[in-house]
Amino acid sequence: MRGNRVKVVEVGPRDGLQNEPYTIPTSVKLELIHRLAETGLNVVESTSFVSDRAIPQLADAEEVMRALERKPGVHYPALVPNERGYERARAVDVDEIAVFTAASEAFNQRNINCTIEQSLRRFAPVLKRAREDGVRVRGYVSTVLGCPYQGKVPVSDVVRVAEALFEAGCVEVSLGDTIGVGTPNQARTMVAAVAESIPVDQLAVHFHDTYGQALANIAACMDIGVRVVDSSVAGLGGCPYARGATGNVATEDVVYMLEGMGMETGINLVNLARVGDWIAGELSRPRSRTGQAILKRSS
Ligand code: HMG
Ligand code: MG
């Protein structure tokens, strides 16, 4: 029987903002990260050190990380696609990074302009340097339950890419349903297959909520021992290279569900709902279901 503590990885400032149509002031990003860190979240993924042509919304990565007031006990990882990104991140004291690739070749080409194999080769020197520098590395596998270009993605491809990241030194592998097409049995089967070679406590699930399946998928994966869940406050997000995909599952909804299942997250839901309400207002986006309900109840 697994413990009942769940680590929620907040990806709103990165995944949530990378696809917004308007330029978001750096000050708003910083306020979002600072406020999230006050809710009890231990991990707030904060930005990406990628090409500013690929992701203009996160072109201020250095400014964000330089100005960030880091709260002890909270981790602020950033995405890094290559050695150049690693150097940029380290120059502003990032001490936790995530590399990212996909289970589908077609998506990987559009997202990071290389094959899966090439991406793994690019990560090798990053992982080597991270090991030497004591930097923790998470690995993302995208398109684990479907690809916007290729369609179906065999589970064996997900397993192969996840294993490669793990063997290369990623201490956590996050399995991403980038376009939110998966349903609970598929999600559980896929995660269980990966968990045959990677300890389940080193796996995370990352569901976008395009078809409204994310909470059900998370619940199904909890059954097989997953205890790390990625989500985004107010359900912000999307990937510019996965057209039609909506945001991540909302952190407020995830926390409400997990606590209702007897899990502990350490997150203050009322405070989180206030952050969700504020950022949704800033970006003119809808509030999460739980966020709305909590704020109505407590007003
Ligand atoms: P490329 O064109 O193959 O690389 O891009 P390149 O080496 O030929 O460089 C092209 C240009 O990018 C050059 O600039 C480089 O200097 C620059 P130019 O000379 O043309 O002006 N460049 C960089 N600039 C800043 N930082 C860097 C960097 N590297 C090269 N680190 C590359 C390859 C990976 C750079 C590009 O495709 C890229 O940045 N892609 C980012 C894609 C991305 O961030 N996607 C969203 C995140 S993934 C996601 O959301 C999924 C996830 O949430 C999980 C899920 O939901 O499934 C994680
Ligand atoms: Mg994502």
Q: What are the chain's domains?
A: 7-298 (3.20.20.70)
Nearest CA to ligand 1 atom 25: 51
The answer to whether the CB of 234 falls within 8 A of the CB of 285 is yes
Nearest CA to ligand 1 atom 51: 142
What is the whole-number distance in angstroms between the Cα of residue 206 and the centre of ligand 2?
7
Neighbours of ion ligand 2 (CB under 5 A): 15
Ligand nearest to the CA of 118: 1
E strand or H helix that includes residue 231? strand 228-231
Q: Decide: helix, strand or coil at residue 58.
A: helix
What is the whole-number distance in angstroms between the Cα of residue 49 and the centre of ligand 1?
8
pLDDT at residue number 297: 87
What is the whole-number distance in angstroms between the Cα of residue 297 and the centre of ligand 2?
31
Q: Which protein residues are within 6 Å of ligand 1, measured from CB?
A: 15, 18, 48-51, 54-55, 79, 81-82, 84-85, 88, 100, 111-113, 140, 142, 176, 178, 206, 208, 239, 241
The answer to whether the CB of 34 falls within 8 A of the CB of 10 is no
pLDDT at residue number 238: 67
What is the C-alpha separation between 275 and 126, in angstroms, rounded?
Answer: 34
What is the C-alpha separation between 68 and 44, in angstroms, rounded?
Answer: 12
E strand or H helix that includes residue 139? strand 136-142
pLDDT at residue number 201: 97
Q: Decide: helix, strand or coil at residue 260.
A: helix
Mutate to test the pocket of ligand 1, among 15, 51, 143 (most ligand atoms within 8 A of CB): 51
Q: Of 118, 116, 129, nearest to 89 (Cα)?
A: 129
Q: Which residues contact 296 (CB under 8 A, 6 or more apart)?
A: none
Q: What sections of 81-237 are H helices per DSSP?
A: 83-91, 105-112, 116-133, 155-168, 184-194, 214-222
Phi, then psi, of 60 in degrees rounded to 5: -95, 30
What is the whole-number distance in angstroms between the Cα of residue 75 and the centre of ligand 1?
23
User: Is 147 a catalytic site residue?
Assistant: no
What is the C-alpha separation between 220 and 224, in angstroms, rounded?
Answer: 7
Nearest CA to ligand 1 atom 19: 51
pLDDT at residue number 150: 93
- What string of pLDDT tens digits covers the 299 residues of the chain? 478 999 999 999 999 999 888 889 999 999 999 999 999 999 999 999 999 999 999 999 999 999 999 999 999 999 999 999 999 999 999 999 999 999 999 999 999 999 999 999 999 999 999 999 999 999 999 999 999 999 999 999 999 999 999 999 999 999 999 999 999 999 999 999 999 999 999 999 999 999 999 999 999 999 999 999 999 999 998 667 777 778 999 999 999 999 999 999 999 999 999 999 999 999 999 999 999 999 998 77
